[in-house]
Amino acid sequence: MLGSEILVAALEREGVDTIFAYPGGASMELHQALTRSTQIRTILPRHEQGGAFAAEGYARATGKAGVCMGTSGPGATNLLSGIADAYMDSVPLIALTGQVPQAMIGKGAFQETDFFGMTLPVVKHSYLVTDIADIPRIVKEAFHIAQTGRPGPVVVDFPKNIQQQRAQPVWPEKVDLPGYEPSPKADEVALNEVLGLIEKSERPVLYVGGGIITGEASKELRAFAEATGIPVTTTLMGVGAFPEDHPLSLRWLGMHGCAYANWAVSGEFKPRTNPGDPMELVAPGADLLLAFGVRFDDRVTGKVEKFCEHGTIVHIDIDSSEHNKNKLVHLPIHSDIRYALRQLNGMLSRRPLQKRHTAWHEQIARWKAKGPLRYTAKEDVLSSVHMRDLLAGREQEAIMPQHVLEVLYELTAGEAIITTGVGQHQMWAGQWYRYKFPRQFLTSAGLGAMGYGYPAALGAKVARPDRQVVDIDGDGSFLMNVQELATARIEKIAAKAIILNNQHLGMVVQWEDRFYGGNRGHTYLGDPRNMRAIYPDYVAICKGFEVPCERVAAKSDLRAAVQRMLDSEEPYVLDVITPYTEHVLPFIPAGRTVADMIY
């Protein structure tokens, strides 16, 4: 078999059914082999970054490794943002790249880059194939590494001359990686100590992240929360790990998380006018924080030394390098989280807890009543001249972005898979759509990569054709990978997109308004020569791609337009005109504390 054929056969043996791959000179042999596969569907993205994000969407919707491929040089480097995103968010990804022939490596050949070296800081592991006999082993190892332990991206760089060689493949029966222990198991003594801490606590909180989802531990988490009566808050990556309509849910916390979730963890303080003012405590927060499958990201903690400052912190994580990296904790436990929760649940079944933390639940109920998510239509929403023109005579009909999510949630009965770009729309999608199950909210959280939303929706829809998949995007973020509308059209992938179009880079504008006196530093995306126009014209753009698109600007027209989008059996874009003056609240400014929260 040719080296290229061995690679494809190895992918088939790993159960691969889809690859997002863009050809070029150094990878065309691989594409030729893919044309002969009856198992693998090759989807041609219109940009390698779109292919990488689509593979991530596939991976996050299924838990299986997504596979993407590019040629050498710029084809490979265009995958880099997707690889870094997968690394930050612990997504299993196999990134295959063509490489110039071995004899030309290091000589500045046409379209040569040291992709192995370039990606070292943002991969779980990487390979440069130097012997055709190694292909079966490398592919098997790559999938094992990507999908086990803390998931992540693996790069396989494949020189063209090896693709063209011939050999008889020898298929390994198992993976042998000395020193790699992907499933550490918690010590029973440590887990008993966790139960002892719960029994002593008065105000416990479960703070859980994406590790619950990647570890397939959502059922175990729910059983543990219900057995102990401990309220649950998630990170953005953990959204869906615990049903948000559950009485114990605090939804998600952090910079734009729910006020009551932040109060429950760190306490409620009298709002202060200046960061230097003393923090005056109104009501204490958690005295025990059970941090499961999280990494204490700065967007969650704010000023890290003030995060749950007076609570005992237990941190269970599959990656021991996360222990005490950002936040010093009292009890670090190195373990697969599903194993740890199963053991804890077994202990609870033999020795149920007597304490139900009634006073704590009453305090949280007061916080939920005091600080719910809310918004109001502002008097300045028509400050954009294009909105005044669109709504002439119907000024009260301006569409608030939060309302779009409320309508979508109602019309989909909360069952859709939601992807997002990055910005204000991302936060509103997290706040105003209530998530019921894991792998329902797919977003670029750690890297914050604009352009993620629609390609990820394509990947998720390919993986879950039975689900409604909707990308909530901003006009800035959507435009970054708008070319993937062609992929959706040609491949008949019925992923939908709602653009919350405010003609601005909304999140940066929000920071300009809060911290820079409203001075605009190149954040207006429209046409400054004709501010009455909607620019770019997404309806016209989508027509060029033969993708249905509709623009809506009035609230009374929104519901029917969203329903038409959902009813379509094709890819569909809904361009919703919204005011640029709206801010995402609550808001804890970067590096600040819960006492500085604007809510």
Catalytic residue (choose from 64, 124, 140, 160): 160
Query: Residue 455: phi, psi to the nearest 5?
Result: -60, -40
Q: What 3 state SS string does 8-51 have?
A: HHHHHHCCCCEEEECCCCCCHHHHHHHCCCCCCEEECCCCHHHH
Active-site residue, selected from the candidate residues 110, 181, 199, 546: 110
3-class SS shares of the chain: helix, strand, coil, % to 5:
40, 15, 45
Active site residue 507: yes
The single residue of 32, 111, 165, 483 carrying the catalytic annotation is: 111
User: Which residue type does 512 have?
Assistant: E
Catalytic-labelled residue, pool 255, 480, 507, 597:
507
Q: How far is CA 486 from CA 75, 101, 458, in A?
A: 19, 32, 11
User: Could you tell me the two tokens for 361?
Assistant: 């639940």
Q: Give the Cβ contact number of residue 519 at 10 Å.
A: 9
Catalytic residue from among 5, 29, 48, 484: 48
**Please, how many CA atoms are within 13 Å of residue 384, restricted to the half-sphere of its CB?**
29
Report yes or no: 152 and 191 within 8 Å, Cβ to Cβ. no
Distance CA 484, CA 482 (A): 5
CA distance readout (Å), 89 to 7, 262, 370, 411, 448: 27, 22, 33, 30, 10
489/66 Cα distance (integer angstroms):
21
Residue 48 falls in the annotated catalytic set: yes
Q: What is the DSSP letter of 524?
A: B
Task: Tell me the residue length of the chain.
Answer: 599
- Which residue has tokens 């967007």? 299
Q: Quick one: 235 exposed, middle or buried, by C-beta within 10 A (0-12, 13-18, 19+)?
A: buried
- Write out the catalytic residue numbers: 48, 110-111, 160, 507
